[in-house]
Amino acid sequence: MRALAETGVLAGERGAYRLVKAGQIVQLPATVQALLAARIDRLPPEDKSLLQSASVIGTTVPLTLLQAIAERSGDDLAARLGQLQSAEFIYETRLFPEAEYEFKHTLTQEVAYAGLLHERRRMLHAQVVAAIERLYPNGLSEHRDRLVYHAFRGEQWTKAVAHLRDLEGVASPEEIGGAIGQGPESPGQLWWMGEHERALKAAEQDLAMAASFRGFGLHVVASCRLGQAHHALGNYGRAADLFRQIVDSIQGELVRERFGMAAFPSVWARSWLAWTLAEVGDFDEAMRVADEATAIAASGDHVYSRIQACWGLGMLSLIQGRLDRAVPALEQGLVSARLENIPFFVPFITAPLGGAYALGGRVDSGITFLEQSVEQAASMRLVANHSLRLAWLAWAQLLAGRREPALEHARRALDIALDRQERGQQARVRRLLADIEAGADVPDVPQAEAGYRAALDLAESLGMRPLAAQCRLGLGGLHRRVGRDEPARGELGDALARFSAMGMTLWIERTKAEVDALG
């Protein structure tokens, strides 16, 4: 009726309308949403803009927040709000202690919001965050949920993480089973428990069964788990081949099929491939597949897949030292997991995020996230990659000057890596133990050098080029600190060449700083 009155088909007022265009065929939109969109489009541009700004705030609209983002004077704003009330888009619900409006229908708010372009929407959400922080500096805790929501929508990931109420919450056995597979002997469950050799054999059995019964879905899932097991064992070449095969086999509309997995296998395989390629220094291909994972997850509007893609991009970027990409991706993944109540992902993301914070100089924040990750993983009985989480925690503690806890966690990480046959993590932790010894007030030079050499040999045998270059950097730094200038120049020159070949800018800068310290 409102639409007919606004378009001149009806005249009069509510309860006493009369038809004035009886000879015409009236075309009404086919859906309520389309009808509302048409009504909003008929508003004067200034009124439409104000209504859309209000829709960003939510169904309930405090006047102070609307004033902060509407960019209109008091009298003009009041007049336009009056017009929107007369048109029955919004109504005033409260005057004290501060005026507040509400959309007459949730659907009206949703349609007005949907009419905004993405960039305009993102900018308005960011303005709401700034307004809340400015208006309520001593009461941010009361507005925390609203701050997290608007920071998330405004793509202000760091602020969203800062305002998260907590990172608690443990995934239930049902959620874990749904994500990695049911049954204690399934390859996903075996990987979760750190039984990587058994996981590998179970995945190979599933592949044989898929071949016998021509089960494409089972073949996809089994290939994912087989690649995951090879990755855990440090067989990066074999893992990369398997992940590439999955990517190649899932094309067209199948990229948005789950085949029983929590995330799209097309996204899952690409995120794991990105991490695998990063470990061996193939960053160009890794970045390409990580971008593909992000695009597929976005096109399918699937939250598990979006978080999975964030994790893959974060892992890749952390290894490369691209904190400008690692931190936003991981923060986005963490906030998404908390807002969508998916605790399964939290320890997977807080660990690399803590590592990225520590690498970027936010060491205390990094330690906090890493400690939470270790605790949550333990409560979920997540053994896979626990040596990596402990290694990152030890490394962050070393950066904070806490040598004894760093040494304790590193030794524990090595024990787990050896017990679980995680050769890539063994190499990483041996290099870390050498770093700890090299940083002592009076280092045991032969022990530190032997540690670097052992890590280097293992890293090179596994094709872990970034880690091998970091071992060279560690050796060069050790030689420099004990006055062995020529060996130091040789190791640092080698490290610089390796980092340069892989485009690892942050590590290039750190190596150059060591070279400059030689004088």
Question: How far, in Å, CA of 144 to CA of 157, rounded?
Answer: 14
pLDDT tops 80 at residue 380: yes
Output the CA angle 452-466-242, nearest 5 degrees: 120
pLDDT tops 90 at residue 334: yes
Higher pLDDT, 12 or 328: 328
* Most distant pair of Cα atoms in the chain: their distance: 99
Residue 389 CB contacts under 8 Å (≥ 6 apart), including other chains: 347, 351, 370, 373, 374, 377
Question: How far, in Å, CA of 141 to CA of 165, rounded?
Answer: 8
Q: What's the pLDDT tens digit per position in 450-503?
A: 999 999 999 999 999 999 999 999 999 999 999 999 999 999 999 999 999 999
Most confident of 12-16, 24-28, 133-137, 304-308: 304-308
| pLDDT value of position 170 | 66
Domain locations in the chain?
45-163, 166-341
Cβ contact 127:134 at 8 Å: no
Cis peptide, bond prior to residue 97, ω within 30 of zero: yes
Q: How far is CA 167 from the centre of its chain?
A: 14
Residue 162 CB contacts under 8 Å (≥ 6 apart), including other chains: none
Nearest alpha carbon to residue 410 among 399, 468, 316: 399
Confidence of residue 199 (pLDDT cuts 50, 70, 90): very high
Amino acid of residue 206: D
pLDDT tops 70 at residue 415: yes
CATH 3.40.50.300 fits 166-341, yes or no: no
| pLDDT value of position 142 | 82
Q: What's the pLDDT tens digit per position in 6-41?
A: 677 778 877 778 777 665 556 666 687 888 888 899
- Long-range interactions of 348-351: CB distance < 8 A, separation 24+: 348/311, 349/307, 349/310, 349/311, 349/314, 350/167, 350/376, 351/377, 351/385, 351/388, 351/389, 351/392
pTM exceeds 0.75: yes
pLDDT tops 70 at residue 413: yes
| pLDDT value of position 201 | 97
Cβ contact 202:190 at 8 Å: yes
| Helices (H), ranges, 214-362 | 216-232, 236-249, 265-279, 283-300, 303-320, 323-339, 346-359
pLDDT tops 80 at residue 351: yes
Q: How far is CA 174 from the centre of its chain?
A: 23
Phi, psi of 431 (to 5 degrees): -65, -40
pLDDT tops 60 at residue 166: no
| pLDDT value of position 167 | 52
> What is the signed CA dihedral for 276, 376, 181, 184, rounded to 10 degrees?
110
Q: What's the pLDDT tens digit per position in 79-94?
A: 999 999 998 899 999 8
Average pLDDT over the chain reads 92
CATH 1.10.10 fits 45-163, yes or no: yes
Confidence of residue 110 (pLDDT cuts 50, 70, 90): very high
Question: How far, in Å, CA of 210 to CA of 216, rounded?
Answer: 7
